[in-house]
Amino acid sequence: MAEEQGAPIQRWTARRRVTLVLSIVKSEASVAEAARAHGLTVAEVEEWRERFLLGAENALRTRPKNEDSIKDEQIKTLKQKIGDLVVDNDVLREVLKPYPLARGAAP
């Protein structure tokens, strides 16, 4: 990226994020290298990459989804994850019932 030699980027516009993500997609830099070079977190750069790839997939669909459909799909996925976590939590709670000390209860 040409901006690597200049001053640090103060504002990450969409165009700058796309340029960074494209450099990762083209294997010019890894996510960790790109994050380190620009003072970003790996999670931040990974989120940009995932959003970019989701947008690209939608753009190449025969019938692209609108923004509301994408948000509804994300909400559905998150609700499923929450449901899985609740079930896991309930199972763990049942497993720990015979062990009152394991839950931090005083004798």
Range 40-71 burial, b when 16+ CB lie within 10 A, else e: beeeebeebbeebeeeeeeeeeeeeeeeeeee
Check whether residue 6 and residue 54 sit in a common domain: yes
Average pLDDT, the chain: 85
Check whether residue 48 and residue 71 sit in a common domain: no
Q: What is the pTM of this model?
A: 0.54
CATH code for the domain of 55: 1.10.10
Which residue range is the domain that position 57 belongs to?
A: 1-64
Check whether residue 23 and residue 45 sit in a common domain: yes
Check whether residue 56 and residue 70 sit in a common domain: no
Q: Give the count of domains, the chain.
A: 2
Check whether residue 75 and residue 99 sit in a common domain: yes
Check whether residue 7 and residue 58 sit in a common domain: yes
pLDDT digits (tens, 9 = 90+) for 8-60: 677 899 999 999 999 999 999 999 999 999 999 999 999 999 989 888 888 88
